[in-house]
Amino acid sequence: MPIRETFWNIPHWAEIAQYVLALLTALVFIYGVGHRVLRWRKGLPEKRSGHFWARIWSLVTQVLAQRRTLDEAYPGLMHFTIFWGMLVLAIGTALATVDWDVTNLFFGFQFLTGWVYILFELTLDVLGLLVVVGLGMAIYRRYVTRPARLQKFPTLENVSYAARDDAYVLLMLAFITLSGYLTEGLRIAVTQPDWAAWSPVGSAISAAFLALGDPANQTLHLIVWAIHILSAFVILASLPFTKLFHIFSTPLNIYFRSLEPAGALQAPRSEGGVKEWKQFTWKQLLDFEACTRCGRCQDVCPAYASGHEFSPRDVMIKLEMHLWEKPNGRALHGDVVSAAELWSCTTCRACSQVCPAFIDHVGSFVDMRRYLVVEGTVDNQLQKALANLGRYGNSFGQSERMRAKWTQGLQPAIKDARKEPVEYLWFVGDYASYNQTLIDVTRKTAQVFQRAGLNFGILYDAERNSGNDVRRVGEEGLYEMLAEKNLQALSRCKYETIVTTDPHTYNTLKNEYAWNGNRPRILHYTELLDELISSGQLKFSKKLDARVTYHDPCYLGRYNGVYDAPRRILHAAGCELVEVPRHGDRAFCCGAGGGRIWMEEKPGRERPSEMRVREAVALDGVTTFVVACPKDVTMFRDAVKTTGSESRIQVKDLIELVYEAM
């Protein structure tokens, strides 16, 4: 009967030695894991419990099924094969251990016998091959095709620990898999069991050794076995100290990920922002340790693409290295992460959207920016904008009394929501109110609302910048001040729904304002128009017949999941939509978010907005670039000029098309 002959050809002393080694390995492993866990516990508290089943479900989809990892074919498949291959081999080893050291030792029976054993052999034998394929793909990719995102890791004293660590892991995994196969092959070569055919790979290898004959093969088997076992223990012992630790840290990070809306930034947990790493929360520290340096975030990052000395991948790697530095005087700010890096981020969240480890980059960046703001490390333009926001409630440095100047001459006059009840309270926002080039669009918005018969009003002088980007700059105090003023003004009005022009405003009103359980319905104007169209309240009188493309604003799409409403409006207005390659949750940021629009521009290769315009211009027959965010209008109109694309494409707000089609 087929049966697993554990410790075949292994002398008793070697068997004992193996148990001793196993014990040692376990001790090192436990020490290492403890070391890591204690480090996380040095972080500040953060609540991440609750939603147990939702969290378990994340583990199923994202760890077992590797959903996000599989978003990219080559690296996805590569990782999937290694992951499942290794997992099955590990389970197999565990079963074998139980079979021998538990059931056999204590109860005198083995379950790996007969057909169970044959199935066991077959599975392990074949799935081991998956690992070999995956590892081959990984080695080929990392050392032959060498994509940019796996190159140029940050160093510490000129040593690239990351590159070393990556090489170690691949080498060890390859070594353990191949030595495992060799052991198996040699065993089959000597014992030649009847069921050898069920181990196809092992049998194939055994064929190569048959000629050597028994005694030689037995000795060789013992040697290879010893090497195999040793390398297995080395891997296990080194696991908590190397990249392999992501086997634990990444699933943990996925389990503990935030299930709050993506647009709800956490208030500072340490007063004055994060100055040193211990002021991060344990979850943020876990973030850094869960990073596998896969570089996907870098590939989608607009700041990196425009040539800034910045990559979200690098910041994660540097933070992780910093956690483990002995006290050596290197400061988090300046030595580890520079202010320029922190100011580069547009908070577009493209990184977190693709990160297979579900890391929240923006949260940590903003926490560090908060420190920079309290220290006063802001550039002149940003300082001016913040001062204006503090004094006038808008970044333009214009009097709040001028906020509704754009309404002058509109007939009928727009209702003052402070004076009479309205159904829709329109939160206009800074750019739409003050920017001269946008006033035309804003007036058209008002006219569309009027023609649709909406009962709406605005806050006039009482409106302030919503603070969404002020908060992301890291100026929490100013954000609170602005939010308080807006909430105060809103609390004095009677309305049912708030509708916003700006996706940034939309985000913070919807996800961050302290409504104390009385949050009204909050819509972006595209959502409102979509509703009005489907209810028949808004009708188009003509079809536009235009070939257009649409840019998903970060704070509407990725942050709030509004992808379909604008597309349905375009369709209803008779436009033919041709998607840019990067659309939906992969949309490429215009570069203005997170307060970047207020900052001095640093020289780079090309602005994100310009890259985006080129992407649109390359589409066949598309002449209109449709946006749904006032900042986008200014950013892209500018980029159309600087790229000399005026004759090819024009930038329009969605509302302009609606206005034309009415």
Partner 1 sequence: MMNIVVLAKLVPDLVEELTIDASGAALDLTFARWIINELFDDHAIEQGILLKERSGGTVTVIAPDLEGADDVLFTAAAKGADRLIKVRSDFSAANNHAVARAFSAIIKGFQPDLILTGVQAHNDLDGSAGPLLAESLGLPYVGYVSGVALADGKFMVKKEYPGGLIAEMEVTLPAVFGIQAAEQPPRYVAVSKVRQAMKTSSIEEMDASDLDLSGAPEIERMFQPEAAAHAEMLEGTPEEVSAKLVALFKELGVL
What are the residues binding partner 1 (CB under 8 A)? 271-272, 373-374, 376, 378, 380, 383, 386-387, 390-392, 397-399, 401, 475-478, 480-481
Residues 6+ apart with CB under 8 A from 102: none
Tokens 């083995």 sit on residue: 110
Tell me which of partner 1, ligand SF4, none is bound by residue 480, counting a contact when its beta carbon lies within the kind-specific cut-off of 5 to 8 angstroms.
partner 1
CA–CA gap between residue 184 and residue 205 (Å, rounded): 8
Tell me which of ligand SF4, partner 1, none is bound by residue 538, counting a contact when its beta carbon lies within the kind-specific cut-off of 5 to 8 angstroms.
none
**For partner 1, which is the closer residue by CB, 77 or 374?**
374
Tell me which of partner 1, ligand SF4, none is bound by residue 359, counting a contact when its beta carbon lies within the kind-specific cut-off of 5 to 8 angstroms.
ligand SF4
At its nearest, how many Å lie between ligand SF4 and the CB of residue 462? 32
Task: State which amino acid sits at residue 66.
Answer: Q
The total of other beta-carbon atoms located within 10 Å of residue 461's CB is 15
Task: State which amino acid sits at residue 76.
Answer: G
Tell me which of ligand SF4, partner 1, none is bound by residue 303, counting a contact when its beta carbon lies within the kind-specific cut-off of 5 to 8 angstroms.
ligand SF4
**Are 595 and 504 in contact, with CB atoms under 8 Å apart?**
no
Tell me which of partner 1, ligand SF4, none is bound by residue 294, counting a contact when its beta carbon lies within the kind-specific cut-off of 5 to 8 angstroms.
ligand SF4
**For ligand SF4, which is the closer residue by CB, 315 or 580?**
315
3-state secondary structure of 292: coil
**For partner 1, which is the closer residue by CB, 87 or 481?**
481
CA–CA gap between residue 112 and residue 4 (Å, rounded): 6
At its nearest, how many Å lie between ligand SF4 and the CB of residue 288? 9
Residues 6+ apart with CB under 8 A from 499: 424, 425, 426, 427, 456, 522, 523, 524, 525, 528
**Are 110 and 103 in contact, with CB atoms under 8 Å apart?**
yes
CA–CA gap between residue 641 and residue 636 (Å, rounded): 8
At its nearest, how many Å lie between partner 1 and the CB of residue 378? 5
**Are 505 and 618 in contact, with CB atoms under 8 Å apart?**
no
**For ligand SF4, which is the closer residue by CB, 92 or 295?**
295
Tell me which of partner 1, ligand SF4, none is bound by residue 132, counting a contact when its beta carbon lies within the kind-specific cut-off of 5 to 8 angstroms.
none
At its nearest, how many Å lie between ligand SF4 and the CB of residue 254? 11
Site residues (CB under 6 A) for ligand SF4? 291-297, 300-303, 312-313, 316, 345-351, 355-357, 359, 361-362, 589
- CA 84 to the chain's CA centroid: 23
**For ligand SF4, which is the closer residue by CB, 396 or 555?**
555
CA–CA gap between residue 127 and residue 81 (Å, rounded): 8
**For ligand SF4, which is the closer residue by CB, 125 or 320?**
320
CA–CA gap between residue 576 and residue 589 (Å, rounded): 23
Of 328, 297, 324, the residue nearest 312 (C-alpha): 297
**For partner 1, which is the closer residue by CB, 434 or 456?**
434
Tokens of 375: 């220290």
Tell me which of ligand SF4, partner 1, none is bound by residue 610, counting a contact when its beta carbon lies within the kind-specific cut-off of 5 to 8 angstroms.
none
Of 168, 171, 199, the residue nearest 183 (C-alpha): 199
Tell me which of partner 1, ligand SF4, none is bound by residue 363, counting a contact when its beta carbon lies within the kind-specific cut-off of 5 to 8 angstroms.
none
Per DSSP (E only), the strands in 116-202 are none
Tokens of 584: 């939906």
Tell me which of ligand SF4, partner 1, none is bound by residue 391, counting a contact when its beta carbon lies within the kind-specific cut-off of 5 to 8 angstroms.
partner 1
Radius of gyration of the chain (CA): 30
Tell me which of partner 1, ligand SF4, none is bound by residue 386, counting a contact when its beta carbon lies within the kind-specific cut-off of 5 to 8 angstroms.
partner 1
At its nearest, how many Å lie between ligand SF4 and the CB of residue 35? 21
CA–CA gap between residue 51 and residue 500 (Å, rounded): 31
**For partner 1, which is the closer residue by CB, 292 or 388?**
388
- CA 400 to the chain's CA centroid: 38
At its nearest, how many Å lie between ligand SF4 and the CB of residue 150? 10
**Are 401 and 462 in contact, with CB atoms under 8 Å apart?**
no
Tell me which of ligand SF4, partner 1, none is bound by residue 642, counting a contact when its beta carbon lies within the kind-specific cut-off of 5 to 8 angstroms.
none
Burial of 576 (0-12, 13-18, 19+ CB in 10 A): middle
At its nearest, how many Å lie between ligand SF4 and the CB of residue 582? 12
At its nearest, how many Å lie between partner 1 and the CB of residue 596? 17
At its nearest, how many Å lie between ligand SF4 and the CB of residue 459? 30
**For partner 1, which is the closer residue by CB, 373 or 589?**
373
Backbone phi, psi, residue 652, to 5°: -135, 145
At its nearest, how many Å lie between partner 1 and the CB of residue 477? 3
**For partner 1, which is the closer residue by CB, 480 or 585?**
480
How, if at all, do strands 497-500 and 424-427 pair? parallel
3-state secondary structure of 560: coil
At its nearest, how many Å lie between ligand SF4 and the CB of residue 59? 17
**For ligand SF4, which is the closer residue by CB, 295 or 393?**
295
